[in-house]
Chains A and B, each alone.
Chain A
Amino acid sequence: MCFLALLVSGVEILISHPRFYWGETGNVLTPPLFKLPIPSSRATVPTGYGYVLPDQNGWSRYLHFQAAWLAVLTGLLYFVFGLLSGHFRQNLFPARADLSWRALSTVIGKHLRFRSATAAEPGSYNVLQQLTYLLVIFVLFPLVIWTGLAMSPAIAAVFPAAVTILGGQQSARTIHFFVSVFLLLFLLVHVVMVSIAGFRNRMRAMITGRPAKDMELR
């Protein structure tokens, strides 16, 4: 829900200026790093399209920040709980044996041949899942929060280094865009894999925290 809200409002904000820059500054008078071939909601942006989309930035910005707060607060709860309960250690950090090239290539090969998870690997994550989840939890989420905050003029005043390390406020915006794209890709692949593995059972398990069998016993 939060992700969807962030995605929709993020796209709405983006189309008011679908150009990206590197460094501290960037505007329609400076050359962009790249631009998206979409129309804009502002007449000042040259897009090549003969029309201007309606301005949706007001509620989009309100919604983006509200959803961000909700996502960050739940994320924090999950993070603290994951550390305390040993969930990260037990389930997400791959076993050393799984990290050898041979083990990795076996798993990758299995995925490429679209062999779905069956009785052989019922309740645990495989090494690819583990690595992906680690990347999302410890790299992409922190990075998307950091780059989001780095765009704030008030936060930049308190933690200037958080902006300069990234290369500037426009760099932060560009990284924010790419990380969001990666998160969207993760979500799409995640949902596809879950549907392959049996949508009803997995969704039930995710929400209730119990495997499907257990539910049927009750």
Chain B
Amino acid sequence: MSKFSRRKLITSGIAVTAGASGLAVAARLAQRYGLIPPDAGGFYGPGETLTYAAQRLLTRHSMAREFAPSQISKPPFANEVDPLGEAFKRLQKAGFTDWRLHVDGMVARPASFSLAELRNFPVRSQITHLACEEGWSYIAEWIGAPLSHILDLVGTLPQARYVIYRSIQPDWWESIDMADALHPQTLVAHGMNGGELPVGFGGPLRLRVPRQLGYKNVKYITRLTVTDNLKPFGKGMGSASPEAGYAWYAGI
């Protein structure tokens, strides 16, 4: 019993208190600098927060690797999607001439762009790796308008923290933080491997965020919503993925 002296009790007491208050301070700081993901509640919250915070501190400005044209996968693999809905098929029949991308939320000038308008925006083309959480991957050239250009056009308000993007397919939506939304490699892609973006790969319009896994790259997007708070959308977990059991942040 002599091993558990009063001194030891006091020092360990102080250590525990210091540890706990240290954690509380860390949590406050993380909240303040936007290092807590929207799906941080629940059993896996600590791990998710550590991953997101660590990667945000490390990767805010890093550029995804770009490859040589010779490294483009031939053929690339188009993952299966749910059967395309009536709304999609109607637009497809008309050659997507009536496809529109709406932008709303915390912006000075809400707008709606046609495909032709989007194609006339400054074009960025990049050869990047797309990896699926399942483990497979391919490399392709992606062509599109930088999302940051579109956000500039509509005048994103300074308090904006996230951009939500929705597919024309029901219940398919994701969101990213401003670090990814304003990143120069994040594209509203309308082309692939030198041509138009095929339907199998998300054509006519797909959000391409190369520093995250495939499931954050939503196909057939029709709406962007800028917000400072993800709570009011869906079940309040940030996007459709956490509602289906997958992490909101997919940088790993």
Contacts and interface: CB of A to CB of B under 8 A. Distances in A.
Given A61-B247, A63-B44, A151-B131, A163 B65 contact: yes
A62 B133 contact: no
Contacts of A69: 46-47, 50-51
Contacts, number: 124
A200 to B, nearest CB: 23
Question: Helix, strand, loop or mixed for chain A's interface?
Answer: helix
Interface in A1-54: 13-14, 16-17, 19, 24-30, 42-44
A67 B44 CA distance: 10
Contacts of B203: none
Given A154-B212, A158-B58, A57 B134 contact: yes
Contacts of B195: none
B44 A66 contact: yes
Question: Helix, strand, loop or mixed for chain B's interface?
Answer: loop
Contacts of B79: 44
A158 B62 contact: yes
A180 interface: no
B59 interface: yes
Contact of B63 (A58, A66, A157): A157
B135 A25 contact: no
Given A16-B135, A17-B134, A57-B246, A66 B213 contact: no
A25 B137 contact: yes
Interface string B27-46: 00000000000000000101
Contacts of A149: 252
B131 to A, nearest CB: 6
Contacts of A16: 133-135
A158 B133 contact: no
Given A14-B135, A42-B134, A154 B251 contact: yes
B77 A28 contact: yes
The 10 closest A-B pairs by CB, nearest first: A66-B47, A58-B245, A154-B251, A152-B252, A17-B135, A27-B136, A62-B44, A27-B77, A16-B134, A157-B62
